[in-house]
Chain A
């Protein structure tokens, strides 16, 4: 069994604890086996893991609703499950947008590396008109900047400036680049400026780096999280209302 498969199944085993005890004792071994066999047959482990996680959350919520009474612990578990699922959606959405911000810089670095084998990297960027990273126009744009750094991590050339100077990220990231090859990191030179940086060492020992503003992605994340917060508040209100109605009628929740 691969390490990734072992991790996914361990997480799923933990997720099964979200189910009501009686259901879990009856079906958990079979569910685990089904998950394991399905994983080995899946074409995309990432998508499968995500669908397995969602299936688990939805299934556990459904089973709690089937068996729940108006008792406070049952309502608390349901509320917790709903909260957990919203947090999972938020984290997933955040990861999608954050990784999306790396895509353009990564393409630039790959392309630059392919062309840089035959020419001097330092001359590649000289023709480009420098953009100002701190300017609102660049921060709101989706245009990545490109820069080349020497083996010590000092900037050699760039098609953008930060307050008039060539952009100089912390030198520590270049060691990580040297160790891991392609390296992605969020660079925040100052408050209000956040950049998705992607870098890779070139054959010459220099580093090829491209960066894109994260402002647009983070604004979208923030807006989405606001919507989720409203949904969460409505869920809480709904649960409270359901609790009051059921309590007044003295009945259990529908199965």
Chain B
């Protein structure tokens, strides 16, 4: 684990679906690993290996920080750093731009199931 934190959010883009889901889950506040996984699974597939591998990389790149351990010491809690917040905002903007472009080209979400 090297501390390769980059202060520019754009350097971390684009995010993988798993990393985006993890950061999004932490927008509401600190959570432990399983709670992150439960929320992330609403929009992407994620097992423990993917979750903790991603968390390890996010800790190393300074997007997430560890905030504490539960009383029984079984659960560690994680929260977004200031850089992490800027990165997910930048990624959301990037996705919004992509969606706007898709809309302009006539792509409609309601037609996806047809």
Contacts and interface: CB of A to CB of B under 8 A. Distances in A.
Contacts, number: 65
* Size class of the contact patch on chain A: 20 to 34
A31 B74 contact: no
B49 A56 contact: yes
A52 interface: yes
A63 interface: yes
Interface stretch (A22-30, A85-93, A151-159): A22-30
Contacts of B47: 35, 38, 51-52, 54-56, 59
Interface in B56-71: 56-57
Nearest to B76: A30
B114 to A, nearest CB: 27
A51 B34 CA distance: 16
Nearest to A62: B53
Interface of A: 22-23, 26-27, 29-35, 37-38, 51-52, 54-56, 58-60, 62-63, 66, 255
A38 B37 contact: yes
B75 A30 contact: yes
B2 interface: yes
Interface string B38-50: 0000000101111
Contacts of A66: 57
B33 interface: yes
Contact of A29 (B2, B51, B56, B74): B74
A54 B47 CA distance: 9
A55 B50 contact: yes
B52 A30 contact: yes
B79 to A, nearest CB: 16
Contacts of B37: 34, 38
A55 B48 CA distance: 7
Interface in B26-40: 32-34, 37
A26 B32 CA distance: 14
A52 B32 CA distance: 19
A173 B1 CA distance: 58
Contacts of B52: 23, 27, 30-31, 59
Given A34-B37, A35-B48, A59 B53 contact: yes
A27 to B, nearest CB: 4
